Structure 1
Amino acid sequence: MVSSTGGVALDERTAVRARKRTSRRTVSAGAAFLCVLLAGVASGCRQSGVADGHSPFTGKAARAAPVLAVKIDNVRPARPQTGLDSADIVYVERVESGLSRLLAVYSSRLPSTVGPVRSARESDLELLRQFGTPAFAYSGTQAKLEPVVEAAPLYPLPAGKAGGAYFRNQDRAAPHNLYLRPERALKAAQGASNARDIGFRFGAAPPGGRNTPSYTARYPAARFSFDWSAERRGWLVSMDGAPVRAASGQRLAVPTVVVQGVRIRSSRYHDRWGAYSPYTETTGSGAARVLRDGKAYDAHWSRSTPDGGTDFTTSSGAPLNFAPGQVWVVFVPEKAVSGRAG
């Protein structure tokens, strides 16, 4: 019987999405198996990114493991965050009112807790497609965006849908008190893709570059500073002038920071007051600045399709190697990285 609410139609759409996801997982698994079979013949086959025992996200030793992306709050009442130091990649995105949010990607290591967790945005879906079918943890979305997230090639894990993976921290005020237990979250996304090549290359630094003891990237209502520490062999991260620290109290030091110039436009969705969310375009090409080893390198980035990774090259067109370890990618307006590093 077809109900007046269209329940049967909804069930059919759900079944179609399930069949599509099963098909994607089958194709992905088959490709990974083929890579293993051909590993001794075709050295360029790196579907999982860890055939040689190293993570495609950090360049460091790692086991094959699924990808979990978590949307993390970044306004002042949400700090200090928990679990950032364990992320393989941290993306910095601009949101409403010129503020920022973080999208942390985990695979090599899973902390016991991550948060505070906040809501997803439309541009997250384009960014996450390069990871295959990752698990995606977020607090929720606005109503019109929810079916778009549900239909995307990922495992959506909003609060209430991840088998007890979320909890409220009683020491924080809402909405900055929602936290995630990553291991529990991944149990609700059994088919999530393992880490795979997304374009990052690791190795010796390219020639050139400019000595850069400090670099700051700015949004209208947020700023991120990176100060080189020779002792830590990384960039000490500050947000709005305050040091970012791990749970141990030690300052977060990042080996590689990518400041990527992108087009930031209005998305299709807005809040109840009519304010449109920014949409960060992560496909296409443009200028970037790569910080590593105390230097800044002018770079070019290119990502031709949402399903593909991002290539970073030098002015000569050679791949621009990152330093092994955690990578931060800060999306800024295109004009913010025009001209040479200095």
Structure 2
Amino acid sequence: MRHAGGMKLRLLVAVTAAALTLTACSSSSDGKKEPTTPDASKGTAEKLVEISPLTGRPMPHGRPSNPVFVVKIENTEGGAPQYGLNKADLVMEELVEGGLTRLAAFYYSNLPSKIGHVRSLRDTDIGIASPVGGQVVASGGAAGTYRRVERAGVKVFSEDGGAPGFSSDPLKVRPYNRLINLKTVAKKAKATRILGPYLPWTPRKSTVKTPAATGTTPAPPRHKTTRAATVRFSNSTSTRWKLAGGTWQRTNGHAAAGQDFKANTMIVMFCRVGDAGYTDPAGNPVPETKFEGSGRALVFHGSTVTEVEWHKPSLDEAITFQTKAGQAYTIDPGKVFFELVPKGDGKVTLG
């Protein structure tokens, strides 16, 4: 991790070209490629390399023509096994009714033909998907939730709404048997504009320094070390993690063998939780994680755990981080797993 200023979505990589003109491509807001020809008259040219908004890593072949898809995935034993998580670029775990949780998995660089098991939409998904123009894939959702998501301008591919690509898992029963083929969905989807990165990524060769006030030395961020952690959402749900092979992995997850998400960075964000205003079929009040504002966060990267503050001024804005001293805090490029833990009821135990 490094402390740095803002990070542009694109990274310019200099390439020597004495007599060769290189042609690069950039993406327009409608997802089409727009050719750009660098000026090579001075003996050099620059090849424009796109940076993934979801991982901060270079995309040498440019941005995909598909939008970012956010697939809602069941996260209980009833929906096991989970398929396709290993192909996701970024994953979030959010609280739902009954103290249980659900996953929101982001797919951009890969479009698996089998993801599941797909579940329903939640109000929290507005703040989750909006910063990168994400299009949500869900099995269904409450009528009020649909209206709110539509008013927010978030596109939804719902089985209830007749979206293509859904199928049944013959080994499961409803509502835990819905699968989705994102390649099929992508044929009907239009790319949406991505205004910037989902996270403030650390530049690979950062030369940006945060100036300190005269006569002062900023305090370093608070950090600890650990190789295991338990993230508690409620009395009934906790996610256990371990550091293995340089990545953070769930030890009580529900993924199919070899298909779990391996996170280069795991981030716990303590968020306010309100009432979504309706109940599930069993009569449980449905919670809504308020994915905007600010709060405490813990960043797990390698064996280091760093305490910072998260900031997200509105539902459609990206997340930024600051140290207690007010310095900008960036995230090293790679795959990230977010735990959106209820402020007050949530808890993180190290070791």
User: What is the TM-score of this pair, normalised by structure 1?
Assistant: 0.77
Contact kept, 8 Å, 1:170 with 1:177, in 2: the verdict is yes
The alpha-carbon deviation at position 211 of structure 1 amounts to 1.0
Kindly state the Cα deviation for residue 191 of structure 1 after the two structures are TM-superposed. Answer: 3.7
Q: How many residues align?
A: 298
2:211 is equivalent to residue 210 of structure 1: no
Unpaired runs of 5+ residues, structure 1, are 1-27, 41-50
The residue number in structure 1 matching 2:54 is 57
Aligned-partner residue type, residue 303 of structure 1: K
Q: Could you tell me how far apart the structure 1 residues matched to 2:271 and 2:57 are? A: 28
Alignment CA distance shift 1:161-1:290 (3 Å):
same
Which residue among 245, 249, 264 is the counterpart of 1:236? 249
Distance 1:185 1:339 in 2: 37
CA distance in 1, matches of 2:221, 2:74: 37
| Letter of the 2:177 counterpart | N
The answer to whether the aligner puts 1:301 opposite 2:310 as a matched pair is yes
Structure 1 residue aligned with 2:7 = none
Higher helix share: 1
User: In structure 2, the residue corresponding to 1:335 is in which secondary structure?
Assistant: coil
The TM-score normalised by the length of structure 2 is: 0.75
Q: Give CA deviations for 1:271-318 in whole Å, capped at 9, x if unaligned.
A: 355432101011101100000011110010001122211101222333
Map 1:180-329; keep pairs closer than 5 Å. Answer: 180-194=180-194, 196-202=196-202, 209-220=223-234, 221-229=236-244, 232-238=245-251, 242-243=252-253, 245=255, 247=256, 249=258, 252-272=261-281, 274-329=283-338
Q: 1:210 to 1:337 in 2, by over 3 A?
A: farther
Higher strand share: 2
Larger Rg: 2
Question: Is the CA contact 1:264–1:278 (under 8 Å) kept in the aligned structure 2?
Answer: yes
Rounded Cα–Cα distance in structure 1 between residues aligned with 2:155 and 2:30:
20
CA distance in 2, matches of 1:97, 1:341: 25
Residues 203, 322 of structure 1: 8 Å contact kept: no
After TM superposition, the structure 1 = structure 2 runs for residues 167-182 of structure 1, keeping only pairs within 5 Å, are 167-182=167-182
Range with greater deviation from structure 2 (93-102 or 184-193) = 184-193
Q: Which has the higher contact order (CA 8 A, sep 6+)?
A: 2
Give me the identity figure in percent: 27
Unaligned runs of 5+ in 2: 1-26, 40-47, 207-219
Measured in 2, the distance between the counterparts of 1:339 and 1:112 equals: 35
